[in-house]
Amino acid sequence: MNQQEAVILAMKANGNYATLGHLYRTALKIPDVRWGTKTPFASIRRIVQTNPAFFKIKPGLWALEEERESVLKKLAIPITASSAKVELFNHTYYQGLIVEIGNLRNFKTFVPHQDKNQKFLEMKLTEITTVKEFHSFTYENLLRRARTVDVTWFNSRGFPDAFFEVEHSTDIQNSLLKFMEFQDFRIKFRIVADSARFKEYEAKLRQAAFAPIYSLVEFVDYDNLSNLHAKITASVNAQDSTKL
């Protein structure tokens, strides 16, 4: 069996699609395949990126071209999907990546109650988060605001380590205003968005009103997020992977 056949087999076993992290973890375990390289992950990326047998759904998510229609239907983004359905898939997909990274780094993870039944691939977000009720780490008026953050990572003491807001098309300024409410806590603030929105993010963050949190907020683009998800999913020691 050659390398491409191994990737196809790993993808078929996962329902004809897979994240790069899943491929890294499973394709290399298939017997009787000679990878013959010190960088097998790079080989897997090259195979899905350059071979017409595969197509890209989103950063870090690939599928078999011959199963395109069935895979997109399975993921609730059929070829004729409305922009609203695509928007929902985008939002929950990146939420799911952030949750899985947090879980692998031994944080407790939470998404807002209004999102818990939304799908990350074929699972509900509530099936992969580890905290069902938000930890009461501060005053109730602030907790009401914190519960609306797209993804929260809690540390072992029940305090937030990081807040993530996924901004596919909504106003980045609203997330920055939300973060401002928590400037007195040791919380990492992350805006997750397409790289094309970085200049918009930077311009808004530089406004004088956001000076108190300027050094606390970072921008994470979709490609870097998906690359980190792939790396950390395949890593023996998740804590050694690049951190958000």
- Average the pLDDT over 102-117 and give the result: 96
Domain boundaries, the chain: 3-74, 83-240
Class of domain 3-74: mainly alpha
Q: How far is CA 93 from the centre of its chain?
A: 6
Residue 91 has what pLDDT? 93
Per-residue pLDDT at 85: 76
Model confidence at 78, in pLDDT bands (50, 70, 90)? low
pLDDT at 241: 55
pLDDT score at 239: 55
Confidence of residue 79 (pLDDT cuts 50, 70, 90): low
Tell me the pLDDT tens digit for each residue of 11-48: 999 999 999 999 998 998 899 888 877 888 999 999 99
pLDDT in the model for residue 244: 80
pLDDT of residue 237 exceeding 70: no
Q: At what angle do helices 222-234 and 40-50 cross, to 10 degrees?
A: 130
When pLDDT is averaged across residues 206-224 and rounded to a whole number, the result is 97
What pTM, to 2 d.p., does this model score? 0.92
Could you give phi then psi for residue 193, rounded to 5 degrees? Answer: -160, 175
Q: Which whole-number Å values give the CA distances from 148 to 19, 153, 154, 222, in the listed order?
A: 27, 13, 15, 21
Q: At what angle do helices 3-13 and 40-50 cross, to 10 degrees?
A: 80
In this prediction, residue 229 has a pLDDT band, given cuts at 50, 70 and 90, of very high
Lowest mean pLDDT among 2-11, 129-138, 230-239: 230-239
Query: Given pLDDT bands bounded at 50, 70 and 90, which one contains residue 82?
Result: low
Q: Mean pLDDT for the chain?
A: 92
- Tell me which residue of 139, 150, 137 sits closest to 110, measured CA to CA: 150
Question: How confident is residue 233, by pLDDT bands cut at 50, 70 and 90?
Answer: confident
